[in-house]
């Protein structure tokens, strides 16, 4: 039972971090538009791309993780974030 609670806690934490990452650009855009040169209204395109990619990858994500493991599934994200 402890393992289940631990896994559930980690899952909720990851979902909270992803939600914060998705919403942060929209919250910061009005203040940052002068520094970045990107209009605050175009941040919606970024958010739409995130949701589109999530919708496209969700159906195959479980199979990919079961076949190759969660670490390999996260590797492209870690490489791109550098």
The range of the structural domain enclosing residue 56 comes to: 2-80
Query: What is the pLDDT at residue 52?
Result: 92
Q: Which residue has the higher pLDDT, 16 or 42?
A: 16
CA dist 79 to 35, 73, 74, Å? 26, 11, 9
Residue 75 has pLDDT above 80, yes or no: no
Residue 82: is its pLDDT beyond 70? no
Q: How many domains would you assign to the chain? A: 1
18-74 pLDDT, tens digit each: 888 888 888 888 888 888 888 877 888 888 888 898 899 888 888 888 888 877 777
Q: What share of the chain is helix, strand, coil (3-state, %, to 5)?
A: 90, 0, 10
């Amino acid at each position: 039972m402890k393992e289940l609670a631990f896994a559930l806690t980690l899952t909720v934490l990851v979902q909270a971090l992803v939600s914060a990452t998705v919403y942060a650009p929209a919250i910061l855009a009005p203040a940052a538009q002068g520094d970045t040169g990107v209009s605050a209204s175009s941040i919606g395109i970024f958010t739409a791309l995130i949701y589109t990619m999530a919708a496209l990858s969700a159906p195959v994500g479980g199979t990919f993780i079961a076949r190759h493991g969660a670490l390999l599934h996260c590797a492209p994200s870690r490489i791109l974030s550098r």
